[in-house]
Amino acid sequence: MVEFSYRTRKDDIKNLNGRHVTCLIIGGGIVGAGLANLLSHNKVETVLVEKGDFASGTSSGSSKLIHGGIRYLAQGHVKLTRDLLRERNYLIENTDIVKRLDFDILIDNYSWSPSYMRLGLFLYSLLGGKPEIPRMKRNNGEYERSVKGFFHYYDGVTDDSRLVIYNIVSAHDRGAYCLNYTEAVSFSDRKDGVEVTLRDNTGGREFSITADVVVNCTGPWINKVLSLYKPEINIPLKLSKGVHLVFDKKDVPAERAITFRSHIDRRQMFVIPRDSVAIIGTTESLVRGPSDLSVENDDVDYIVNSVKRLFPNLSRNNVLAKYSGIRPLLGRGDNPDRISRDFSIFTHGRMISVAGVKLTDFRHASRKIAREVGKFCGIRIRTSNLPVMDYRRPESGNPFREYIINECALFPEDILRRRDGTTIYDPLNLGSVEKVVKDAFRSTGAVGVTWAETES
């Protein structure tokens, strides 16, 4: 394993200044990470930059589900659902970071009818390659009396941040330059490519590289980055905020994951058991900007009141943690449910921009983008069965030290909120974990040591 730390990052910035590379990827979420991983397998000289930490945006604010989207199928998006189910199956069968998760989908006065659900789940299993005729089980006390029965189905579940990190480290191990806390601040067309000025956000120093092609994988920030290169162009994009609440599993004693429809507006929602907690969501509301991540009282009330029908004793006081993410949706409408859920690729000059990719679909999207990069640069890109994740976190040793030395965590926050999902999966023990993380930073002398010392 190649060291990937604050030390190698410093050396990489020094070595890249003034360099010409084949591809610059802007955005360290799942799309940029998957693309960097695929290109590095093809020995394409690749640089990936992310203005914050890796996976610090949309890719860490999801439901953590790898799924085909029953709701997408109900809306008539058959091809999209089929493609997503293929990716779900691959990730469950070929990785140890995506696990099968069994669901109960509830039938009550607010759900789809049993016959409609039976047909929908049959099509879902058929598109997933394993057709079976679903049967409704009667509610014999498993749920509140308002639930008439339920069907079984399955999807996948993952740690979204870790999925990004595995792709990033795999790309780095194969020769890609991956720089977190590095922001693209200006673009200038040259005869031999695009000159891009980059800023190291840990110290403010600027440096420049030239790339044959730039790939804009910044999700909700796609138009902000595009405006630095082509100010006259704007991709039609709507930003939809989704909020999730985290509860102690004792307060939400669900043996299996649950899919149900809210009695408030019939929106599909999930209860997802994870370790000692349960994640419940999600909301959907259009917002003005990519940084509008605030969780409002109305968001909390909506989720609590929706799920209270299943767990009557639940209240706002039981909420352990809350988080949100911004979904970039392609379209101009004001109803999020009617805006396209598929992704699109745009080319403007030497910049390729991609928008609308879902967590489940990152491999499919990476292959399509990589082919566009290959066409642009006149090189052949092998995409079959790629990208694959070679990296695995070591099972032994000090895990926090490993994150700093092998996953380029620069600050304690990178581990607490992005790497390990501590604030989500283990909020009750956050204080004790913080101390161990700070000690790990002190022992390595990483950038975050200043933070650790001033906060202790």
Q: What is the pLDDT of residue 432?
A: 65
- Choice between 439 and 159, residue whose per-residue pLDDT is larger: 159
User: Are the C-beta atoms of 54 and 188 separated by less than 8 Å?
Assistant: no
Q: What is the pLDDT of residue 431?
A: 63
The residue-averaged pLDDT of 242-263 equals: 95
User: Are the C-beta atoms of 190 and 208 separated by less than 8 Å?
Assistant: no
User: Are the C-beta atoms of 10 and 201 separated by less than 8 Å?
Assistant: no
Beta bridge partners of 260: 269
- Retrieve residue 221's tokens: 């920030």
| Residue 453: pLDDT band with limits 50, 70, 90 | very low
Residues 6+ apart with CB under 8 A from 105: 70, 111, 117, 121, 150, 151, 152, 153, 258, 259, 260
- Retrieve residue 170's tokens: 């795999």
Amino acid identity, position 339: I
Q: Where in the chain is the domain with CATH 3.50.50.60?
A: 6-59+162-234+341-377
pLDDT digits (tens, 9 = 90+) for 265-299: 999 999 999 988 999 999 999 999 999 999 999 99
Mean pLDDT value across the chain: 91
Q: What is the pLDDT of residue 399?
A: 76
Q: What is the pLDDT of residue 84?
A: 97
Q: What is the pLDDT of residue 392?
A: 87
Q: What is the pLDDT of residue 230?
A: 97
Angle at 291 between CA 288 and CA 294, to 5 degrees: 90
Give the total residue count for the chain: 456
pLDDT of 455 > 80? The answer is no
Q: What is the pLDDT of residue 403?
A: 86
pLDDT digits (tens, 9 = 90+) for 104-122: 999 999 999 999 999 999 9
pLDDT of 305 > 50? The answer is yes
pLDDT digits (tens, 9 = 90+) for 306-333: 999 999 999 999 999 999 999 999 876 6
| Residue 339: pLDDT band with limits 50, 70, 90 | low
Q: Which CATH number applies to 98-157+237-330: 3.40.50.10310, 3.30.9.10, 3.30.1490.20, 3.40.50.300?
A: 3.30.9.10
Q: State how far the Cα of 147 lies from the Cα of 200, in Å rounded to an integer.
A: 54
The SS3 of residue 214 is: strand
pLDDT of 254 > 80? The answer is yes
- Choice between 165 and 1, residue whose per-residue pLDDT is larger: 165
Element (H, E) at 99: strand 98-107
Q: What is the pLDDT of residue 418?
A: 62
Q: What is the pLDDT of residue 450?
A: 45
Q: What is the pLDDT of residue 52?
A: 96
Q: Where in the chain is the domain with CATH 3.30.9.10?
A: 98-157+237-330
Element (H, E) at 306: helix 297-307
CA dist 417 → 166, 281, 303, 319 (Å): 16, 19, 22, 18
pLDDT digits (tens, 9 = 90+) for 151-172: 999 999 999 999 999 999 999 9
Angle at 185 between CA 52 and CA 39, to 5 degrees: 65
- Quick one: fold of 6-59+162-234+341-377? FAD/NAD(P)-binding domain (3.50.50)
Q: Phi and psi at residue 386, in whole multiples of 5°?
A: -115, 160
| Residue 100: pLDDT band with limits 50, 70, 90 | very high
pLDDT of 202 > 70? The answer is yes
Residues 6+ apart with CB under 8 A from 116: none
